[in-house]
């Protein structure tokens, strides 16, 4: 809900409006949830990274995440997230409401070179040749690794997809369970969160108790409580 002053001069009065909620909000809620899961696992995150390609239709990465090899705070979801030891981990995260799947540009190369654009902009590869090599690995296996880096695609969804064996697939139920466990175990440390964004504060309200809601409850609750959008 949003409160505004309406009228003129001495006739100002308070009036309450419900913030307009666009139809794409549920997917954005999923992207935000994935972002916070990655953030709590030590990743620096950027939402909605746009890849323009070479003169063709653009695509986007729901969440771009980078984790440095010596990051440590509290125990992370290392096994489920498949965090590589002693390497910089660059994650392109896709968020799906249902079964895990990948958008077209992440499955096959094309003349738009969207993935090459993303790799070039991230800036971990020095030459066009190394970018092309990494892109080839990502197109074929959704993962590229050398002695310093891991670049991979992570998909969040309600169920796994057997046709994507090389993709790290994480279920929403496990995401919410991890966040709940983190908030409850380190409640005293995380209680100082007044500088979090509004969605982080919302997750704290919903996931710091004894009951873990389902992802649809998180989506519907955020739609009802979101103070503004975007």
Length of the chain: 230
Question: What average pLDDT does range 9-29 have in this prediction?
Answer: 48
**What pLDDT does residue 108 have?**
63
pLDDT in tens, 194-211: 889 889 999 999 999 999
- What does the pLDDT read at residue 14? 43
CB atoms closer than 10 angstroms to residue 139: 17
Domain that holds residue 55: 24-170
In a domain, 59, yes or no: yes
Q: Is residue 105 part of a domain?
A: yes
The number of distinct structural domains making up the chain is 1
Q: What is the pLDDT of residue 58?
A: 63
pLDDT number for residue 36: 96
88 DSSP β-pair partners: 149
For residue 138, is it within any domain? Answer: yes
Provide the pLDDT for residue 5: 42
CATH of residue 113's domain is 3.40.1350
Answer whether residue 2 is part of any domain: no
Assess if residue 180 is contained within a domain.
no
Is 144 a member of any domain?
A: yes
Flag whether pLDDT at 59 surpasses 80: no
Does the residue 211 lie in any domain? no
pLDDT at 135 over 70: yes
In the Cβ-directed half-sphere of 150, how many Cα atoms lie within 13 Å? 21
Instruction: Indicate the burial class of 86 (C-beta count within 10 angstroms; 0-12, 13-18, 19 or more).
Output: exposed
If you average pLDDT over residues 172-179, what whole number do you get?
A: 97
């Amino acid at each position: 809900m949003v409160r505004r002053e309406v009228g003129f001069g001495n006739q100002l009065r308070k009036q309450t409006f419900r913030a307009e909620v666009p139809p794409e909000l549920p997917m954005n809620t999923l992207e935000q949830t994935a972002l916070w899961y990655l953030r709590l696992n030590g990743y620096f995150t950027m939402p909605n990274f746009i890849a323009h390609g070479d003169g063709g239709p653009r695509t986007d990465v729901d969440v771009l995440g980078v984790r440095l090899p010596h990051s440590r705070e509290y125990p992370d979801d290392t096994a489920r997230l498949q965090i590589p030891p002693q390497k910089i981990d660059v994650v392109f995260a896709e968020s799906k409401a249902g079964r895990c799947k990948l958008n077209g540009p992440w499955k096959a190369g094309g003349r738009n070179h969207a993935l090459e654009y993303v790799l070039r902009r991230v800036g971990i590869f020095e030459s066009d040749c190394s970018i092309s090599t990494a892109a080839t690995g990502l197109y074929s296996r959704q993962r590229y690794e050398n002695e310093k880096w891991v670049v991979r695609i992570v998909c969040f969804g309600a169920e796994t997809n057997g046709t994507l064996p090389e993709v790290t697939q994480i279920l929403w139920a496990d995401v919410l369970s991890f966040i709940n466990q983190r908030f409850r175990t380190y409640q005293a440390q995380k209680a100082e969160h007044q500088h979090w964004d509004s969605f982080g504060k919302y997750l704290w309200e919903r996931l710091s108790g004894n009951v873990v809601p389902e992802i649809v409850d998180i989506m519907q609750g955020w739609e009802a409580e979101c103070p503004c959008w975007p």
